[in-house]
Structure 1
Amino acid sequence: MKKLITIFCLSFLLLACKTESKKQVKSTYKIPVYAWEHLPKDATDEELTTQFKDFKNKGIDGLMYSAGHDPETYKRVGKIAKSIDLEFHAWIPTMVQGKNPKLKPEWYAINGNGESAFDKPAYVDYYKFLCPSKEGTINFLEELYAGVASVEEVDGIHLDYIRFPDVILARGLWDKYGLVMDKEYPQFDYCYCDECTSNFKEKSGIDIKSVEDPSQIQEWKQFRYDLITNVVNKLANVAHNKNKKINAAVFPGPNSVAKKIVRQEWDKWNLDAVYPMNYNDFYLEDTKWVGEMTKEAVTTLNNNKPVYSGLFIRPEVTENTNKEDPENHGLSPNELEDAVKESMLNGAEGICLFTPGRMTDAHWTVLKKVISTNYTKNK
Structure 2
Amino acid sequence: MYRIIILISVIFTLSCNNSKKEVGEEKEVKKDKIPCYAWLGGPGKATDDEIKANFTKLKSKGIDVLMYNGGQNPETYKRVGKIAKEVGLGFHTWIPTMVQHNKPEIDPEWYAINGLGESTYDKPPYVSHYHFLCPGKKGTYNFLADMYAKIADVEEVDAIHLDYIRFPDVILARGLWDKYGLVMDREFPQYDYCYCDLCVGDFKAKTGIDIKASEDPSQVEEWKQFRYDLITSIVNRLTEVVHSKNKKINAAVFPGPNSIAKKIVRQEWDKWNLDAFFPMNYNDFYLENPKWIGEVTKESVAALNNKKPVISGLFICPKPEKKGDEKDPENHGLLPEELEAAISESMTNGAAGICLFTPGRMTDAHWEVFEKAIHKTYKVK
State if a TM-score over 0.5 links the two structures: yes
Alignment partner of 2:214 out of 211, 221, 239? 211
TM-score w.r.t. the length of structure 2 is 0.91
- Correspondence 1:234-253 to 2 at 5 A: 234-253=237-256
Alignment partner of 2:201 out of 198, 209, 213? 198
The answer on 1:108 being equivalent to 2:111 is yes
Question: Which residue in the other structure is 2:226 paired with?
Answer: 223
1:322·1:328 contact (CA, 8 Å) conserved in 2?
no
The answer on 1:275 being equivalent to 2:278 is yes
1:196-246 CA distances to partner (integer Å, 9 max, x unpaired)?
A: 000000000000000010000000000000000011011101110000000
Alignment partner of 1:168 out of 168, 171, 174? 171
Instruction: State the superposition RMSD in angstroms.
Output: 1.4
**Distance change >3 Å, CA 28–CA 198, structure 1 → 2:** closer
Residues of 2 paired with 1:191 and 1:261: CA distance?
14
TM-score w.r.t. the length of structure 1 is 0.91
**Distance change >3 Å, CA 318–CA 368, structure 1 → 2:** closer
Aligned-pair distance for 1:321?
A: 10
- Partner amino acid, structure 2, of 1:360: T
* SS of residue in 1 equivalent to 2:380: coil
1:132-154 CA distances to partner (integer Å, 9 max, x unpaired)?
A: 11110010000000010000000
Aligned-pair distance for 1:317?
A: 5.2
Question: Which residue in the other structure is 1:71 paired with?
Answer: 74
Residues of 1 paired with 2:339 and 2:323: CA distance?
24
Alignment partner of 1:39 out of 38, 42, 58? 42
The answer on 1:353 being equivalent to 2:356 is yes
Residues of 2 paired with 1:46 and 1:222: CA distance?
49
The answer on 1:288 being equivalent to 2:319 is no
Question: Which residue in the other structure is 1:93 paired with?
Answer: 96
**Distance change >3 Å, CA 320–CA 326, structure 1 → 2:** closer
Aligned-pair distance for 1:40?
A: 3.7
Aligned-pair distance for 1:334?
A: 1.2
Question: Which residue in the other structure is 2:305 paired with?
Answer: 302
Alignment partner of 1:341 out of 323, 344, 351? 344
- Partner amino acid, structure 1, of 2:348: L
2:236·2:272 contact (CA, 8 Å) conserved in 1?
yes
1:309·1:348 contact (CA, 8 Å) conserved in 2?
yes
1:52-80 CA distances to partner (integer Å, 9 max, x unpaired)?
A: 00000000000000000000000000000
Aligned-pair distance for 1:319?
A: 8.0
Aligned-pair distance for 1:320?
A: 12
- Partner amino acid, structure 2, of 1:105: P
Alignment partner of 1:137 out of 140, 148, 173? 140
- Partner amino acid, structure 1, of 2:330: E
- Partner amino acid, structure 1, of 2:73: D
2:30·2:377 contact (CA, 8 Å) conserved in 1?
no
Alignment partner of 1:55 out of 53, 58, 79? 58
The answer on 1:81 being equivalent to 2:71 is no
**Larger Cα-atom Rg:** 1
Question: Which residue in the other structure is 2:265 paired with?
Answer: 262
1:311-348 CA distances to partner (integer Å, 9 max, x unpaired)?
A: 00000258899700000100001111000000000000
1:321·1:328 contact (CA, 8 Å) conserved in 2?
no
4+ residue segments displaced more than 6 Å? 318-322
**Distance change >3 Å, CA 321–CA 50, structure 1 → 2:** farther
1:314·1:359 contact (CA, 8 Å) conserved in 2?
yes
Query: What number of residue pairs does the alignment pair up?
Result: 353
Residues of 2 paired with 1:331 and 1:40: CA distance?
26
The answer on 1:324 being equivalent to 2:327 is yes
**Distance change >3 Å, CA 78–CA 332, structure 1 → 2:** same
